[in-house]
Structure 1
């Protein structure tokens, strides 16, 4: 029985497993749609009742799926604390936490329901390739993030010294300069905070050039790892 259930709930080539996967994916999408509809103001009580009934049905199915996955797991603690195990748990947690909770706090709990969309990763082959690529390139990505944090701090300190006297209200400290450093290095440039001194403008020019590389580097790392993942799968 355990092996039979495992062949269903885990991704396999058999017909029953594919039907189960499609069913769960449809429920995830249905849950996300109902979550979005719930945010519409002035909904009729009948509509709210229907949405709640759909939510209950989805949570019951997700709970059964979660318990079945624990049951068929070779190592139960390993599954529970795995990426997918945590996502499956977070997908049902807000519903059960909402019982007996002050309604004013429900908005924060409802936000956690967005984790359900991550459940689609398990069933989507393209997303599986993407997560595999992220895992294979995790050391490069962590190194890149570490360097990025150093550059953000360096940029904050640099612009602080250039602009503090000219704009003490915007660059009053290194911490206040962090916002400028982040939006500049990511090349977003909201324009709410910008340098007005010559030194600050020259400094910003070089930071923008570095920012272009910051945007391009992770793209290259992930695309290279993704290509290797796809090639390995096709081999």
Structure 2
């Protein structure tokens, strides 16, 4: 059965993997991203119902594009927010502007997504937000991104409780280090990659398709009894140690 989904951050590494996965399964999509020039060819490739540009840091734009997507799709079964950023700095070197931008892209856009879902998805459905393994354990120089992603997790849990009576499910996926254009400066740097790989119990980086698979699973109406969960797709980073 084809479902109707809005994908935010659709052309990013994880967002594009999710978009193609859902399109291949026959679902109807409305795509949202910050750069229309990158968004348009992806929408054409997958035959999206529509697409729109939105600034991830502007709540009004995020909410209006979700409402627009719902209108074009007719009904809305789910929303996935794949917007994100990666700031690797210790707190004492992080400026207010950098902190505010990190919080806005990840946490503020997630809040706007939940708010729009609550206003738009009157018959229920699924909202999936993107957190990070960095929100579940301490990793050096991740203060800003960890704060933002921990906020996303708290938001998901509270919203799951608030909207459960309306059958609106809210969940999080928390990846470990995943190979995407955003993380290439780490995964493509031999020294940085070696240190990071040692922290992942499975001994490798994640693939965007693996994170997308978990998001797609949570979006599916078949998972109608899953809400308020933070699912780690992280190679064991947040929970497993193979050395004593």
**TM-score if structure 2 supplies the norm length?**
0.26
Q: Which has the higher helix share?
A: 1
More strand by share: 2
Q: Which has the higher contact order (CA 8 A, sep 6+)?
A: 2
TM-score under structure 1 length normalisation = 0.27
